[in-house]
């Protein structure tokens, strides 16, 4: 049975993370895409339990107190977080758990599960290209786009904290890079694996 592992992806909104994951899905083995829980309103076409788990602020804050989140953050006035229960189950089933979370979330996952975590920052080649893509989506008003661009300027400063960087200039090349990375993430050895290997090897 394959070993469970965690792959954290971060990058600005509009970087193409979802497109890359979908394009690579047949090539990376069994995986669980960690769905965030959020207090923001669903956008048109979004489904509860598919895109996000949509909950009330009160419910989210109760789960914070109960320590039911692997990570959570407040972004643009709304909470976003990752429930621990489905993550644990997927790891036990030997799946690759893929997170699409922000820089702050990456730091928290690293602090808690560094042994089995690999990370990559996905971004368009330039800030101006990011802005062009955000406008081309036609899903957000001007104030949201400006906010996302400003946010991206802050996030890019943390790029050195990630194991890898994927520049999404061509979706085909970015997808190939991602497939290599996803398959390599499963090979990462935790301390327990290392100790067991040495014990078995030394006899």
pLDDT at 3 over 90: no
Identify whether the C-beta of residue 36 lies closer than 8 Å to the C-beta of residue 18. no
pTM: 0.81
Section 137-150 average pLDDT: 84
pLDDT at 140 over 80: no
Handedness of CA 96, 48, 85, 71 (dihedral sign): positive
E strands, 56-192, in order: 69-75, 78-83, 96-100, 117-123, 164-167
Tens digits of per-residue pLDDT, 148-163?
899 999 999 999 999 9
Q: Tell me the percentage of the chain whose pLDDT exceeds 70.
A: 100
Query: Where exactly are the structural domains of the chain?
Result: 5-202
Q: What is the pLDDT, as a whole number, of residue 168?
A: 95
Identify whether the C-beta of residue 68 lies closer than 8 Å to the C-beta of residue 135. no
Identify whether the C-beta of residue 106 lies closer than 8 Å to the C-beta of residue 119. yes
Tens digits of per-residue pLDDT, 96-120?
999 988 898 899 889 988 999 999 9
Contacting residues for 52 by C-beta, under 8 A, at least 6 apart: 35, 36, 37, 38, 42, 46
Average pLDDT, the chain: 91
Tens digits of per-residue pLDDT, 166-183?
999 999 999 999 999 999
Section 53-59 average pLDDT: 94
Q: What is the pLDDT, as a whole number, of residue 1?
A: 61
Q: Domain 5-202 in CATH: superfamily?
A: P-loop containing nucleotide triphosphate hydrolases (3.40.50.300)
Please tell me the total number of residues recorded for the chain in this structure.
Answer: 203
Section 62-91 average pLDDT: 89
Tokens matching residue 171: 């979706």
């Amino acid at each position: 049975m394959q070993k469970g592992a965690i792959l954290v992806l971060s990058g600005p909104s509009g970087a193409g993370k979802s497109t890359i994951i979908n394009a690579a899905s047949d090539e990376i083995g069994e995986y669980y895409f960690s769905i965030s829980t959020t207090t923001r309103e669903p956008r048109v076409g979004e489904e509860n339990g598919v895109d996000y788990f949509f909950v009330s602020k009160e419910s989210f804050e109760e789960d914070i107190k109960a320590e039911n989140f692997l990570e959570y953050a407040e972004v643009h006035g709304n909470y976003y977080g990752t429930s621990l229960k489905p993550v644990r189950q997927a790891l036990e089933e030997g799946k690759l758990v893929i997170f699409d979370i922000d820089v702050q979330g990456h730091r928290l996952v690293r602090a808690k599960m560094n042994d089995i975590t690999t990370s990559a920052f996905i971004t368009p080649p330039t800030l101006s290209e990011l802005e062009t893509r955000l406008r081309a989506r036609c899903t957000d008003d001007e104030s949201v786009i400006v906010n996302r661009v400003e946010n991206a300027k802050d996030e890019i400063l943390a790029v050195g904290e990630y194991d890898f960087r994927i520049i999404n200039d061509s979706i085909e090349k970015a997808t190939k890079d991602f497939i290599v990375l996803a398959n390599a993430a499963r090979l990462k050895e935790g301390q327990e694996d290392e100790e067991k290997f040495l014990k078995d090897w030394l006899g």
